[in-house]
């Protein structure tokens, strides 16, 4: 069928709008990345990380937000755990995923505040569970009884909803279990983390 001048004009207008929409989405997602990631972690330079395990680092960099599959990255200070995780998260943000990120101290402070009031507890845990991706950097930085309770609820909730979680830690999962200091919480929390996170040792 021969395309009329009017049909051609309408098609070209639609194509132009589609291109503009794609560019708008791309710009918004780039802005979301810049808003979410601290400036110091937006780039990664291999020359500044000569001592890290390259194979394990590549495992982090190749991570994609598949349902229920996260990362637990363990290593001593200076092994680029945080920076590598942010590089993995970058692709997720640029693909349209929403990310909540915080360090272990902020997580402890927020959980302590939220767990004092039942209504606030429910709302806070809900917000943590329903994020596309949750990233907690240095989870063991401040582990209290309240933090342990919150961690169990959030890990359980996110596992139930198949939402990926990323964590970095200076301690192993077994050491984290001991820090939680409550077997009724630590055992199921660590077991669930092992089920829904790939463990990477740098």
pLDDT tens for each residue of 150-177: 999 999 999 999 999 999 999 999 999 9
5 and 63 co-located in one domain: no
Range of the domain at 10: 1-36
The percent of residues above 90 in pLDDT, for the chain, comes to 69
Residue 164, burial from CB neighbour count under 10 angstroms (0-12, 13-18, 19+): buried
53 and 101 co-located in one domain: yes
Q: What is the pTM of this model?
A: 0.86
Split into its structural domains, the chain has a count of: 2
Q: Which residues of the chain have pLDDT under 70?
A: 1, 9, 12, 20
32 and 63 co-located in one domain: no
30 and 80 co-located in one domain: no
């Amino acid at each position: 069928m021969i395309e009329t001048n009017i049909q051609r004009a309408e098609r070209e207008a639609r194509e132009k709008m589609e291109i503009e929409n794609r560019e708008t989405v791309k710009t918004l997602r780039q802005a979301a990345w810049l808003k979410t990631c601290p400036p110091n972690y937006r780039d990664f330079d291999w020359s500044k990380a000569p001592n890290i395990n390259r194979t394990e680092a590549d495992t982090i960099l190749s991570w994609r937000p598949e349902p229920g599959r996260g990362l637990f990255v363990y290593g001593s200070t200076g092994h680029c755990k945080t920076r590598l995780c942010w590089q993995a998260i970058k692709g997720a943000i640029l693909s349209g995923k929403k990310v909540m990120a915080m360090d272990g101290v902020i997580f402890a402070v927020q959980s302590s505040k939220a767990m004092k009031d039942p209504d606030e507890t429910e709302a806070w845990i809900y917000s943590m569970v329903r994020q596309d991706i949750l990233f907690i950097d240095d989870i063991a930085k401040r582990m209290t009884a309240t933090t342990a309770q919150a961690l169990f609820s959030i890990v359980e909730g996110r596992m139930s909803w198949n939402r990926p979680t990323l964590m970095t830690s200076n301690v192993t999962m077994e050491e984290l279990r001991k820090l939680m200091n409550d077997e009724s919480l630590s055992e199921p929390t660590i077991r669930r983390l092992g089920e829904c996170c790939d463990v990477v040792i740098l």
